[in-house]
Structure 1
Amino acid sequence: MKQTLPTSRLAADAKKMGIDLFGVAAAEGFLDPAYLGKRPQDVFPGLASVVVIGVTVPKGAFKPLPRGRAQYTNTLMAGTATLRVAAFALARSLEDEGYDAAIVPCEGSEFGYWYADRKTLMADLSIKYAAWRAGLGSFGKNHLLITDRFGPRVRLAAVLTDAPLDPGHPKGGLLSDRCAGCTRCIEACPVGAITPDGIDRQACAAYMFGDLGGLRCGMCIRACPLVER
């Protein structure tokens, strides 16, 4: 028998596991015609909620860039490990209450596996869009999530569930107003993948998985003035 699972309890459990950001996006937000990504309903029938969790990445991982990319990449992977453990525990808690749950990968490619579509580089849903819907932040010009507390130096994961949790709501427009008039990430991109009109995913991926051999770049985050928050 399904039990009523308080959203606040899930949030408290996540915090105990080292999670810095927690929010819930209602499934219907992905049916908005303005959303151009893949719909999670296509891979998780009966979806009611998308639980979004995030951890902040230490500033010291960004400051030496472009030197120290191995340390930077390893720090990101440690964030991924933290998110996976927490997401797994939250999914187990949801299923203990009689609901179904599945964990969304933190990024498109990791540990030799590709989670995103190789041609479009699109995952089964945009976790950043879910985070915006949940009220955790807005998009930057670098197409990363800009949060009030940590700026862009966050790493995200999500849990899909049919549990009817209490959803959050966007706190502003899709594009962060703190990016207005700033072009630092555009100027910092080594391959010109970021422009005022959007981002070239293929150029970004080709640089990281070609030129850098799989190490992460991070220059657009390092250049953001909000990193020092």
Structure 2
Amino acid sequence: MLNSDPIIDFGRKAGADLVGIAPAERFEGAPKGHKPEDILPGAKSVVAMAKRIPLSIVKSIPSPYYDRFGYHDLNAYLRELTFRVALFIEDQGFEAFPLDPSVDDKAREVQILQEAPEPKIKILGDFSHRHAIVAAGLGEFAASSMVVVPKFGPRIRAVSVITTAPLEPGPLLGGKSRFNICRPEACGLQCGKKCPARALPGDGTIDHFKCRNYRNPGVFTLEYFKAIAESKKTRGPAWSRPGGRPTPQTGETCGICIKVCPIGISL
């Protein structure tokens, strides 16, 4: 087991607000094709990193400023971060696979759970950076299904680097209940109440169809997602198509749920 401190220190100096290490074994429950070793054979560890979204940008939600600085420009920042960290690990003599913080819809895996009376779908990216944040002991899943961290709440974007280096992992966050950082009984589940799409029931899940369809009515239809699900049979690994913006996207990213969450809201 290798000391993780040099990589954690480098990640912070490279621009990450949060850096943690998760062993590949903590992803055993991930779906086939989405585990660290599915992407990088021989994977031993995942370096999970996150950057906060500027609070002034969060307060501007809903606005094009969040769409730009809280999503697309921040994704570009994270891409450079993962590239630098991956090369640093490679300089230590191990393979490292930098992942994109977001992928084009055509690179995602879509599962059609139900067509009627209301469509229900599940969307999977190439690799779950949210799960990596939790597996590295940096945060926990909230009632909204978002990942929250003590200092910044849900106002982060995350990214990961998979490596063959057997790094010393961080401890998992402990707690006596399912939600420890997130306290829905204290805030009255503001994320669910204020969600304009009514996509957050408060049980730790999200209605992907309602969330997407609210942003682009008539664009993110059931037929659109069925076409993606069908194409998955022939197009190969999800992680082969990095992107950062769903192909037919025309509306702005919402973000109300991260704005109203009280966790870590003060500077």
Amino acid at match of 1:224: C
> Unaligned regions of 5+ residues in structure 1, if any?
none
Where does residue 93 of structure 1 map in the other structure? 88
Q: In structure 1, which of residues 210, 213, 219 is the aligned counterpart of residue 250 of structure 2?
A: 213
Where does residue 26 of structure 2 map in the other structure? 29
| Whole-angstrom CA distance in 2 between matches of 1:168 and 1:122 | 25
Three-state SS of the structure 2 residue aligned to 1:195 is: coil
Cα 1:162–1:154 change in 2 (3 A) is: same
Asked whether the 8 Å contact 2:148–2:181 carries over to 1, the reply is no
| Whole-angstrom CA distance in 2 between matches of 1:161 and 1:57 | 26
- For residues 85-139 of structure 1, the C-alpha deviation after alignment (integer angstroms, 9 at most, x for no partner) is 1110111111122211112221344xxx644214442023321111111110111
Q: In structure 1, which of residues 117, 122, 145 is the aligned counterpart of residue 109 of structure 2?
A: 117
| Whole-angstrom CA distance in 2 between matches of 1:91 and 1:210 | 39
Asked whether the 8 Å contact 1:107–1:115 carries over to 2, the reply is no
| Whole-angstrom CA distance in 1 between matches of 2:159 and 2:213 | 23
Cα 1:63–1:213 change in 2 (3 A) is: same
**TM superposition score normalised by structure 1:** 0.86
Matched positions, count: 219
Once the two structures are superposed, the pairs formed by residues 1-229 of structure 1 within 5 Å of their partners are 6-32=3-29, 38-66=34-62, 68=63, 70-76=64-70, 77-109=72-104, 114-119=106-111, 120-172=122-174, 175-181=179-185, 182-197=188-203, 198-210=205-217, 213-229=250-266
Give, in angstroms, the shift of residue 63 of structure 1. Answer: 1.2
Amino acid at match of 2:79: R
| Whole-angstrom CA distance in 2 between matches of 1:172 and 1:121 | 28
Three-state SS of the structure 2 residue aligned to 1:199 is: coil
Three-state SS of the structure 2 residue aligned to 1:206 is: helix
Asked whether the 8 Å contact 1:136–1:170 carries over to 2, the reply is yes
Identity of aligned residues (%): 31
Three-state SS of the structure 1 residue aligned to 2:50 is: strand
Determine which structure has more spread, i.e. the larger CA radius of gyration: 2
> Unaligned regions of 5+ residues in structure 2, if any?
112-121, 219-248
Asked whether the 8 Å contact 2:27–2:35 carries over to 1, the reply is yes
Asked whether the 8 Å contact 2:67–2:252 carries over to 1, the reply is yes
Asked whether the 8 Å contact 1:39–1:124 carries over to 2, the reply is no
Asked whether the 8 Å contact 1:40–1:124 carries over to 2, the reply is no
